[in-house]
Chain A
Amino acid sequence: MAAPLPTARTNPFDPPEELRADDRGIRRFTLPDGSLGWLITSHPLAKSVLADSGFSSKMELRKQVVARGETRDKETGKPPVDGMFIAMDPPEHTRFRRQLTGQFTVRRMNQLQPRIQQIVDEHLEAMAASGPPADLVAAFALPVPSLVICELLGVPYADRADFQRNSATALRLGVSDEEALAAVQSLAGFLAGLIERKRREPTDDLLSGLIENGELTDRELIGVSMVLLVAGHETTANMLSLGTLALLRHPEQADALRASETSVDVAVEELLRYLSVIQFGTTRVATYETELGGEGIAVGDQVLLSIPAANRDSGQFAEPDQLNLAGQTQGHLAFGHGVHQCLGQQLARIEMRIGYTTLLRRFPTLRLAVPVADIPLRTDMTIYGVHELPVSW
């Protein structure tokens, strides 16, 4: 009997030992419903599946790889709202992605830099004024990307408590179907109201722009804005807090970054590789019969591409378990690969570059306020990180 996907960790940075890539790079694992899936740990195999249009992202075909609340329609398997393009295949997926890519170009994201710097500065000043100590997650890592994505999309930041709580519920393991569905529906209701208001009174933001383009229906816009809002704050928030913990545990490398002796661009790519916060992702479903790493894959087989495993594959990275912020990390899969590769990656990069460097410089004596063993790890969440990060200075 193959084991289920491991979730327990022995330290904050390393993926579960059972996920380590072996020579074959593919093995069986047991899904929550008792059926068998394929777990891919090899970097080149994972990359080739993600680039292969014969492997589907469709929500109707995908099974859960860890036990979470089920929000899909029991009969059709379809998502609870339209427009969830992260779970579509081309050409359907292409129609949505095309509407959005122009908004997320490298140039567009660079233009946001001064405003992001301002948001980071304001939050760090507020943290300095009210501490030490402080919880870095609540004071900095969660609010900064939340405010950035709210401003970009045109979502009122005053409503953050609700959407942060609802998206956390939807992304937590072990919640009931009812609870998860209620959270998604509450989020959908909130976004539907917002879209309706913007249709009447357009504002200068991404959501109003999408409404004006007229290509997407209001129902589709609910799913699109939900994907953007949830993906846009949870992921970056966890990279900021877990990345800070990694910096605090590697003080010499943090000092070099603080003093600009090493490049922050390089450091961000290495942190993305080393931390791989999309800890259970991502999954594809075979739509044709094929072979992967010597194993026969049948139509309908669930294939889990483990990003943490692929990013620690010693066949790809020389010293995969070492954090080396000065080395050039090439080709990590932290943002995925293929047509679904992260839409928000250039935004996330800018938030991390500004976030880490400004934090290190504003607080030259930043340190943990509790023993590292007391920091609550997000092994119970779809997106890995820390629930809290008590710091002092």
Chain B
Amino acid sequence: MIKADTNVCIGAGMCALTAPEVFDQSEDDGTVILLTDSPTAEQLAIVEEAVNLCPSGALSLG
């Protein structure tokens, strides 16, 4: 399960850049949109990387 806290997100877009099939950004305020909250086994590594790169700590994997 991926969790994204849009109150914390600063819209830097590292997630959408790293894993575009999982993360998108809102057209209004640039905050993160989850395209899915349960990544496939193949997506897991890249999602972990995105969680790691996120500068605001808005993303978590649980």
Contacts and interface: CB of A to CB of B under 8 A. Distances in A.
Given A102-B27, A102-B30, A346 B55 contact: no
Interface string B9-33: 0111110110010001111111100
A336 B25 contact: no
A103 B49 CA distance: 25
Interface string A345-371: 110000000000000000000000000
A98 interface: yes
B11 A104 contact: yes
Given A341-B10, A345-B12, A346-B17, A105 B55 contact: no
A102 B11 contact: yes
Contact of B13 (A98, A104, A338): A104
A338 B55 contact: yes
A106 B10 contact: no
Contacts of B56: 338-339, 341
A101 interface: yes
B16 A106 contact: yes
A48 B2 CA distance: 23
A240 B25 CA distance: 28
Contacts, number: 64
A172 B53 CA distance: 32
B57 A102 contact: no
Interface residues of B, number: 22
**Which of A106, A338, A343, A345 is packed against the most chain B CB atoms within 10 Å?**
A106
A331 interface: yes
Interface string A324-345: 0000001100001111011101
A107 interface: yes
A94 B55 CA distance: 14
Interface residues of chain B: helix, strand, loop or mixed (majority): loop
Contacts of A330: 49
B11 A101 contact: yes
A345 B11 CA distance: 11
Given A51-B57, A331-B52, A331-B53, A102 B28 contact: yes
B15 to A, nearest CB: 9
A62 interface: no
B45 to A, nearest CB: 12
Contact of A106 (B25, B31, B53, B55): B25
Given A51-B57, A331-B52, A338-B55, A346 B27 contact: no
B31 to A, nearest CB: 7
A78 interface: no
Interface in B33-62: 49, 52-53, 55-57
A20 interface: no
Interface string A93-116: 010011011111111000000000
B16 A105 contact: yes
Given A105-B25, A342-B12, 10 more contacts: A101-B29, A101-B30, A102-B11, A102-B28, A104-B13, A105-B13, A106-B20, A107-B16, A107-B24, A341-B10
19 contacts: A94-B10, A97-B10, A98-B11, A98-B29, A101-B10, A102-B11, A102-B25, A104-B11, A104-B13, A105-B11, A105-B26, A105-B30, A106-B16, A106-B17, A331-B52, A338-B55, A341-B10, A341-B12, A341-B55
Interface of A: 50-51, 94, 97-98, 100-107, 330-331, 336-339, 341-343, 345-346
